[in-house]
C-alpha cells in the first residue's frame, strides 16, 4: 500500500508539473497569436501570418493532448451505457462528417452490459478515433460505429472507415508519441487513447488495408466483470 501511495504521489507531482508548464506555454501563445493577427497588413504578411498561426495552433493542440495525460488522477469512474457515449460523440462530429461527405452508420447490440468509465476520457478516445477515421476519407465515405457484447464479459466498440488506410509497415508505429502522417497532425491522439483505454482495463487493436480502410477495435471490460474501483496492474501486484 505504501508503494501504491508513493506511486500516486509521484503521478500527481508529474501531473501538476505538466499542468503548470501547459499554462506557461499557453499564456504567451495567446499573446503571440493576437499580435500576429494585428500585424497582417499586406498580402505577404498574411501568408506568413497564416503559417505562424497554424504552427501556433499545432503547439496548442500538443499542449492540450499533454494536459490529458497530466490529469488521470482526478478521474471518477461511473457505470455507463456505451451507446450513450457513442451517440454523444457522434453528435459532436456530425457537422464535420457532413462537410466531408461522410455517412455515419451505427449498429448497436440490443442488450449491452454497462461499462465502468470516466466519461470525458472515454469521449476523448472515441473522438480521437472517429476523427482519425473522418480525416482518412477526404473524398467522403462511410463511418461505421458498432458496439457489441462479447461472451467473455467485454464490450467491443468497432470504428470502421472506408478511408485511405495504413501501410502495414506503419502499424507498429501507431501510438508512438508524435508519429503522424498528417501535415497538421500532432501524433498524440492514439498515444493518449491507448493510455486511457489501458487505464480502463481494456485494449485497442487496429487492422488496416491501404486504400480499403481501417478498423479500430476498443475492448472494455463489462461492469459486472470489473472491480468497482478499477485497479491498475501495479495495484493488483501489490494486493
Chain residues that interact with ligand ADP, rule: CB under 6 A: 128, 132-133, 136, 161, 163-166, 174, 179-182, 185-190, 214
Q: Least distance from C-beta 191 to Mg ion, angstroms? A: 10
Q: Residue 224: which residues within 8 A CB-CB, separation 6 or more?
A: 113, 153
Q: What is the DSSP string of 70-132?
A: H-GGG---EEE-HHHHHHHHHHHHHHHHHHTTEEEEEEE-SS---EEE-HHHHHHHHHHHHHH
CB-count exposure of residue 8 (10 Å: 0-12, 13-18, 19+):
middle
Q: H/E element holding 65?
A: helix 43-70
* 119 grid coordinates: 466519461
Q: Least distance from C-beta 14 to Mg ion, angstroms? A: 24
**Of 132, 136, 154, 214, the one binding Mg ion by CB under 5 A:** 132
Q: Which is nearer to ligand ADP, 37 or 212 (CB)?
A: 212
Residue 116 in the binding site for Mg ion (CB under 5 A): no
Q: Which is nearer to ligand ADP, 85 or 166 (CB)?
A: 166
By a kind-dependent CB cut-off of 5 to 8 A, residue 187 interacts, out of Mg ion, ligand ADP, none, with: ligand ADP
Q: Which is nearer to ligand ADP, 138 or 227 (CB)?
A: 138
Output the CA torsion 40→44→46→47 (10° steps).
-150
**Of 163, 189, 202, 213, the one binding Mg ion by CB under 5 A:** 189
Q: Least distance from C-beta 63 to ligand ADP, angstroms? A: 14
By a kind-dependent CB cut-off of 5 to 8 A, residue 186 interacts, out of Mg ion, ligand ADP, none, with: ligand ADP
Q: Least distance from C-beta 172 to ligand ADP, angstroms? A: 11
Selected range binding Mg ion among 29-37, 42-50, 130-138, 219-227, rule: CB under 5 A: 130-138
Q: Which is nearer to ligand ADP, 163 or 201 (CB)?
A: 163
By a kind-dependent CB cut-off of 5 to 8 A, residue 180 interacts, out of ligand ADP, Mg ion, none, with: ligand ADP
Q: What is the DSSP string of 146-182?
A: EEEEETTTEEEEEEEE-S----GGGGGGTTSTT---S
DSSP-assigned letter for residue 222: B
Q: Least distance from C-beta 131 to Mg ion, angstroms? A: 6
Helix axes of 119-135 and 189-199: crossing angle, nearest 10 degrees: 140
Selected range binding Mg ion among 5-13, 33-41, 128-136, 150-158, rule: CB under 5 A: 128-136
Output the CA torsion 135→136→137→138 (10° steps).
60
Residues that bind Mg ion (CB under 5 A): 132, 189
Amino acid at each position: 500500500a505504501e508503494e501504491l501511495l508513493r506511486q500516486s504521489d509521484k503521478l500527481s507531482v508529474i501531473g501538476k508539473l505538466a499542468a503548470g508548464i501547459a499554462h506557461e506555454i499557453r499564456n504567451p501563445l495567446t499573446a503571440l497569436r493576437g499580435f500576429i493577427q494585428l500585424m497582417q497588413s499586406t498580402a505577404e504578411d498574411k501568408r506568413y501570418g497564416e503559417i505562424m498561426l497554424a504552427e501556433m495552433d499545432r503547439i496548442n493542440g500538443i499542449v492540450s493532448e499533454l494536459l490529458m495525460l497530466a490529469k488521470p488522477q482526478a478521474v471518477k469512474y461511473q457505470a455507463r451505457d456505451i451507446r450513450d457515449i457513442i451517440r454523444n460523440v457522434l453528435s459532436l462530429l456530425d457537422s464535420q462528417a457532413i462537410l466531408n461527405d461522410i455517412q455515419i452508420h451505427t449498429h448497436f447490440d440490443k442488450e449491452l452490459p454497462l461499462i465502468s468509465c470516466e466519461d470525458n476520457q472515454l469521449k476523448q478516445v472515441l473522438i480521437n478515433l472517429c476523427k482519425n477515421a473522418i480525416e482518412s476519407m477526404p473524398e467522403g465515405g462511410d463511418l461505421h460505429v458498432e458496439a457489441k457484447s462479447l461472451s467473455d464479459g467485454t464490450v467491443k466498440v468497432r470504428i470502421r472507415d472506408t478511408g485511405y488506410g495504413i501501410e502495414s509497415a506503419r502499424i507498429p508505429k501507431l501510438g508512438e508519441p508524435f508519429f503522424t502522417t498528417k501535415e497538421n497532425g500532432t501524433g498524440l491522439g492514439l498515444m493518449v487513447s491507448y493510455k486511457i483505454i489501458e487505464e480502463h482495463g481494456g485494449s485497442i487493436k487496429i487492422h488496416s488495408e491501404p486504400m480499403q480502410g481501417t478498423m479500430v477495435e476498443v475492448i472494455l471490460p463489462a461492469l459486472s466483470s470489473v472491480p468497482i474501483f478499477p485497479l491498475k496492474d501495479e495495484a493488483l501486484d501489490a494486493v
